[in-house]
Structure 1
Amino acid sequence: MNGYDLTGRTALVTGGARGLGAGMAAALGRAGAAVAVADRDAEAGKATAEALVADGVRAEFVALDVTEDAQWEAAVAAVVASFGGLDVVVNNAGVEISGLVVDLDPADVRTMLEINVLGTALGVKHAFRAMRPGGAAGQGGSVVNIASVAATIPFPGIAGYSATKSGVDRLTRVAALESGKLGYGVRVNCVYPGLVATEMGLRLAADMQTLGLWPSPEAAVADVIGLTPLGRLGEVADMADAVVFLASDAARFITGAGLPVDGGMGM
Structure 2
Amino acid sequence: MIYFVGAGPGAVDLITIKGQKLLSVADVVIYAGSLVNPELLNYTKNGCEIHNSAHMTLEEVIDKIKKAEAENKMTVRLHTGDPSIYGAIREQIDLLKELNIEYQVVPGVSSFCGAAAAIGAEYTLPDVSQTVIITRMEGRTPVPERENIKSLAAHKSSMVLFLSSSLAEELSKELIAGGYELETPVAVIYKATWPDEKVFRCTIETLPNTMKINKINKTALILVGNFLGNEYKRSELYNPAFTHEFRKAENE
User: What band does the TM-score fall into relative to the shorter chain?
Assistant: 0.3 to 0.5
Looking at secondary structure, tell me which structure has more helix per residue: 1
TM-score w.r.t. the length of structure 1 is 0.35
Q: Which has the larger radius of gyration?
A: 2
Looking at secondary structure, tell me which structure has more strand per residue: 2
